[in-house]
Amino acid sequence: MVTSNRRHESVLSKRAVAVATLDGCLFTAAEARAAGLTINDLRSDAVVALRRNVYVTATTPITLGLRCGAALRVTKSDARVAHVTAARLWGLPVPETDRLHLSYERRPNKTLVGTIAHRHPAGSLARSVFVAGVGRLPVSDPTGAVTECADSLGLVDLVVLADAVLSRHDVDAGRAIDVWKHGAGPHSAVLREVARRAREGAESPPESRTRLLLVLAGLPEPVVQHEAFVAGRRRRFDLAYPELKIAVEYDGSYHYASEAQKQADIVREDELRCAGWIVIRVVSVGIFRDPASTLARVADALTQRGVKVAPNTAWRQHFVQLAPVA
C-alpha cells in the first residue's frame, strides 16, 4: 500500500512539473509528451482541450487569443482571424460574440465548430498580433476589419469602430477613409457612409455615439476634441460648437469614482459658465435609454445661441428610446 501511494505521488509530482512548464501556453500532444506528460495526463483535470490535439493547462485563463490560436492550429494554413474577432484582438470596440470569425482565400468545405468562415475581401491586408502563450497570429488589419464588419454591424457600431481605427497611431487615416470610400461589393454603400461619418481624434465609443446621435437627428455636427483657453487654462471638450460656446461632454463612471474628481468637474464647469460657455453633460442613460432628452438639451442650447434647429426622427433607426418622452 505504501509503495502504491508513493507511485501515485510520484506520478502527480511529474505531472505538476510538466504542467508548470506548459502553463499559459497552447501545446499539442507531441509537445505535452516532450514536456513529460502522458496520455493519461492529457485526459486528467490538469489539462483542458481547446481543440482536437490542442491543449492548455487547467490553470491557464482561456483568452480570446488562445481560442484563436487553437482554431488556427487545426484549420487551413491560409486562414487568419477576421471580422469582429480581429477587431477585438486589436482592442477595438465591437459587440462581443462567442463564435470566432476566420477568413480564408477559399472557404473550407467544413467549418470548424464554433467559428464563422469568410473569404478574404479583394485587396485586403493581414497583419500579425502577438498573443501571450501563442505567438504571432495572422489577423485582418484594423482598416480591413471595418470593411469585413459591414455585413453585420449597424451604421452606428461601424462608425464607432471606424473612429477607433482612425485614432490608432499605426493607421494612416487618409488611406483608411479612402479604402472605405472606394470599397466594392454588396456593402459598399454603408462603407461610403462610414467614410463620410468617421472622424479622427474621437477618444471613446460613447463620445462617438453622442456625435452620431446629434448628426443623424439633423443637428449641426460638433467639433471633436476641441481645445480652448478658459480662465487662463487650456480646456479640451469631447464635442463642441466653438463659435457658439457650447460644449457637450460625455461623463463616464470615472467622473463619479472619487470626491476629488467630482470637485474638479464642479470647478471646471463653473469656470466655463463664467466664461460664457453652455455645458451639456451626457451620461450613458442619455445615449442608451433616453437619447431624445439629449437631443432636446442640445437643440435648446443651440436655440439659445440663435441657431434654429428642429431634430428629425431619423436617429430612431439607430438608437433605442426606452425612457418615455416628456
For residue 76, count other CB atoms closer than 10 A to its CB: 14
Interacting residues of 197 by C-beta distance below 8 A, sequence separation 6+:
155, 159, 162, 212, 215
Interacting residues of 12 by C-beta distance below 8 A, sequence separation 6+:
none
Q: Identify the pLDDT of residue 183.
A: 84
Burial call 163-174: b when 16+ CB within 10 Å, e when fewer:
bbbbbbeebebe
Residue 52, CA distances (Å) to 42, 71, 100, 300 in order: 12, 9, 16, 61
Name all domains of the chain by residue range, CATH numbers in brackets: 2-57 (no CATH), 63-200 (no CATH), 205-317 (3.40.960.10)
Q: Identify the pLDDT of residue 120.
A: 83
Mean pLDDT, the chain, integer: 89
**119-148 confidence digits (pLDDT tens):** 886 667 789 999 988 999 999 999 999 999
Q: Which three cell numbers stand for residue 129?
A: 498580433
The residue type of 159 is V
- Long-range contacts for 72-77 (Cβ within 8 Å, ≥24 apart)? 72/102, 72/137, 72/138, 73/26, 73/28, 74/112, 75/102, 75/108, 75/112, 75/115, 76/104, 76/108
Arithmetic mean of pLDDT, 149-174: 96
Arithmetic mean of pLDDT, 147-164: 96
Q: Identify the pLDDT of residue 229.
A: 84
Q: Which three cell numbers stand for residue 69?
A: 490560436
Q: Which helix (H) or strand (E) holds 236?
A: strand 233-241
Model confidence at 253: pLDDT above 60: no
What is the Cα–Cα distance from 77 to 304, expressed in whole angstroms?
62
Arithmetic mean of pLDDT, 153-182: 96
Model confidence at 11: pLDDT above 60: no
The residue type of 222 is P
**48-102 confidence digits (pLDDT tens):** 999 999 999 999 999 999 999 999 999 988 899 999 999 999 999 999 999 999 9
For residue 322, count other CB atoms closer than 10 A to its CB: 10
Q: Where residue 2 falls among pLDDT bands split at 50, 70, 90?
A: very low
* Angle, CA of 193, 198 and 203, to the nearest 5°: 155
Q: Identify the pLDDT of residue 260.
A: 67
- Per DSSP, the three-state class of 66 is helix
Residue 146, CA distances (Å) to 46, 104, 122, 140, 167 in order: 39, 17, 14, 10, 14
Percent of the chain scoring above 90 in pLDDT: 67
Q: Identify the pLDDT of residue 325.
A: 65
Sign of CA dihedral 149, 151, 157, 159: positive
Instruction: Evaluate if pTM is beyond 0.85.
Output: yes
